Chain A
Amino acid sequence: AQTVTQSQPEMSVQEAETVTLSCTYDTSENNYYLFWYKQPPSRQMILVIRQEAYKQQNATENRFSVNFQKAAKSFSLKISDSQLGDTAMYFCAFMKQDNNNDMRFGAGTRLTVKP
């Protein structure tokens, strides 16, 4: 079974600074997808960024980018120019490329952006 590990339960960053959240995963699959989801206090799960394992180029979405290291099974999220609205729980998630719908999540990292 696939497992996803987020080793940083809590992190903080000053507004406008850059922060990196870590994620590692364990799988024997070659084709899969990785995701970062944001969960603000409203509880809504919001997709931040997605990476296809077959793509070597790291995904970017505005201030959010990933460092995808397939051989090391690592998938970190970098948030640049942090904003107060980035304060939230961040979850790393893994899904095999198959016909099932089994998405595995890490335990999450609570990020606080300080003014």
Chain B
Amino acid sequence: NAGVTQTPKFQVLKTGQSMTLQCAQDMNHEYMSWYRQDPGMGLRLIHYSVGAGITDQGEVPNGYNVSRSTTEDFPLRLLSAAPSQTSVYFCASRVGRGIYEQYFGPGTRLTVT
């Protein structure tokens, strides 16, 4: 199993550009999440999904969209990038209800200039 994979590893965007961060897992996990990590802060939840076709907002959802058309994939879209979205983004997955251990991807470092 590859676990949780994220692409790209690094990305530089200009203000106003859009892009999609990719996340995939091959463990047949039901739950998936996106977090951002800023300096001096822990990870903060952006959006999450409890199954294909089901998504919900986390703590800091503004400026981001998600969808979950398959169990394996959970892309994160930045519609119009802003410097405040400069961060490291982590995707995570877990088996499902009642199983609380999360597996994290390697992260994507995004810089918005």
Contacts and interface: CB of A to CB of B under 8 A. Distances in A.
Contact of A4 (B42, B45, B49): B42
B44 interface: yes
A43 B9 CA distance: 11
A93 B43 CA distance: 9
Interface in A6-47: 6, 33, 35, 42-45, 47
A100 B45 CA distance: 11
Nearest to A45: B104
Question: Chain B interface mostly helix, strand, loop or mixed?
Answer: strand
A107 interface: yes
Interface in A74-102: 91, 93, 95, 97, 99-102
Interface residues of A, number: 24
Most chain B CB inside 10 Å of its own CB: which residue of A43, A91, A106, A107: A43
B42 A102 contact: no
A52 to B, nearest CB: 8
B98 to A, nearest CB: 8
Question: Chain A interface mostly helix, strand, loop or mixed?
Answer: loop
Interface of B: 31-33, 40-45, 48-50, 56, 58-59, 88, 90, 92, 94, 97, 100-102, 104, 106-107
Given A101-B31, A103-B92, A104-B59, 5 more contacts: A47-B101, A47-B102, A95-B100, A100-B56, A101-B48
10 interchain residue pairs of minimum CB distance:
A105-B42, A45-B104, A101-B48, A33-B100, A105-B43, A101-B31, A43-B107, A106-B42, A101-B33, A107-B42
